[in-house]
Copies of this chain bind each other. A is one copy, B any other.
Amino acid sequence: MSESLRLGIAGLGTVGTGVVRIVQQRADLLAARAGRAIIVTAVSARDRAKDRGVDLSGFAWEDDATALAARDDVDVVVELVGGDAGPAKDLVEAAIANGKHVVTANKALLAHHGQALAEAAEDAQIALRFEAAVAGGIPCVKALTEGLAGNRVERVMGVMNGTCNYILTRMEDAGLPYDTVFAEAHALGYLEADPTLDVGGIDAGHKLCLLASVAYGTRVDFGGVQLEGIERVSIEDIRHANDMGFKIKLLGVAQMTGRGLEMRMSPCLVPARSPLGQLNGATNMVVLEGDAVGQIVMRGAGAGEGPTASAVMADVIDIARGTRLPTFGQPASTLKKVTRAHSGSPAPYYLRMDLVDKPGALAKIAACLGDAGISIDRMRQYDHEDATAPVIVVTHKAGRPDLDAAISAMEATGVLIGAPVALRIEELGA
């Protein structure tokens, strides 16, 4: 058996602690699988005194995470600090400069600096890996980069923010409005310090642009993700969707079209009986569609100590086994620059709006859609007691620009109260 692979772990939150636990408790198993021992030699975190429930006494301690990158007894820097700049970026850059392999769970860092870091890693001939950055314990980066490498990828979809799926599921199950469930999730500690990262779709958008890069051989382009959060999804939308056989999910979709790469992270309606529609609570799901394999669905925990540590260890074991792949599956220098498709491909849409309760209001709405070339699949006007009439429209396939034109025209008629909610209905095929 060859020499031990030595880890320096930066960040000892739940995931870092989980990695320490696996390395300590599963030493024999890891050595059998990796063909060599995997050990931790040094760690770094903010608070040295904190009791994390694991024995750190055998490891060197660094107050400054960046110092891990300079240690002779570290082969792999495990970056679990987080954040798209500051200490995490400094650490990863220093590790690469010093010829250390890097395993990271940091989606924000790679979403913003993935191209430069991947190029630097390849120049330094070290591995920079990020399975834990996307969908927690689901080995989806590996499935896409390796398992489906023989496919031209047709679409990548994912529910990849457990907090948003928890909120949407809880609204539905308990019949509670968004604000109430948001406050609950906040109290339970489910939300990031800046909740917009979760409910605004940013965190999930980071993950989507990384998967897209692997899927299509393109440079990471977070700016190209059309982002829309779940803040405007109401309990009424969830109920109306249910009535029509749909669920609402914060769904990421990346697909290459004739107009360029389309990346969307937005609340969408999906069939209630599909695997995506049946995904409840904080669980994640990634759907990969390839021209040869068809549709592959992967489901698992998207966060938490064990699942994320499992993904970190997958990358560590690959490195221990000598597996060397470029960060995004092909050399960073060969990744194509993205042409952005500035609007989503045509799809049916769900529209909810409140109309003034006057004769002809509904006709005006219908006319605006017709004028924009959008035909109506279903329309429902609900009972109402006050002066506003809630109306739901499901369109046939429409382009988003046409839909936006129709909505502008509707707003100009003066019959709308407030802005309409427009949610895409994602067609899932098989």
Contact = CB atoms under 8 A, between A and B. Distances in A.
Given A35-B330, A317-B146, A300 B294 contact: yes
A143 B318 CA distance: 12
A146 B139 contact: yes
A387 interface: no
Interface string A129-148: 00100000111001100111
Contacts of A324: 321-322
A332 interface: no
Contact of A301 (B33, B131, B293): B293
A323 interface: yes
B307 A293 contact: yes
A296 B298 contact: yes
A35 B331 CA distance: 8
A26 B322 contact: no
B310 A137 contact: no
A389 B298 CA distance: 44
A137 B314 contact: no
B298 A313 contact: no
A296 B299 contact: yes
Interface in A258-308: 273, 275, 278, 290-301, 304, 306-307
A295 to B, nearest CB: 6
Given A142-B143, A143-B143, A292 B137 contact: yes
Contacts of A322: 324
Contacts of A273: 278
B334 A32 contact: yes
B294 A137 contact: yes
Interface string A310-330: 111110111001111100011
A150 B297 contact: no
A309 interface: yes
Interface in A1-38: 18, 22, 26, 29-30, 32-35
Contacts of A321: 324-325
Nearest to A306: B292
A147 B325 CA distance: 14
Nearest to A38: B150
Contacts of A292: 18, 22, 137, 306-307, 309-310, 313
Contact of A146 (B142, B278, B334): B142
Given A32-B330, A143-B142, A150-B26, A294 B314 contact: no
Contact of A314 (B35, B139, B148, B331): B148
Interface in A21-61: 22, 26, 29-30, 32-35
In this complex, the member of A150, A217, A298, A321 whose beta carbon has the largest number of chain B beta carbons within 10 angstroms is A150
Nearest to A288: B300
A147 B152 contact: no
A18 to B, nearest CB: 7
A151 interface: yes
Contacts of A304: 294
Interface of A: 18, 22, 26, 29-30, 32-35, 131, 137-139, 142-143, 146-152, 217, 273, 275, 278, 290-301, 304, 306-307, 309-314, 316-318, 321-325, 329-331, 334
5 contacts: A143-B143, A146-B318, A150-B310, A151-B310, A296-B299
Given A139-B146, A148-B310, A297-B298, 9 more contacts: A29-B152, A29-B217, A32-B217, A137-B294, A146-B146, A147-B311, A148-B314, A149-B317, A323-B325
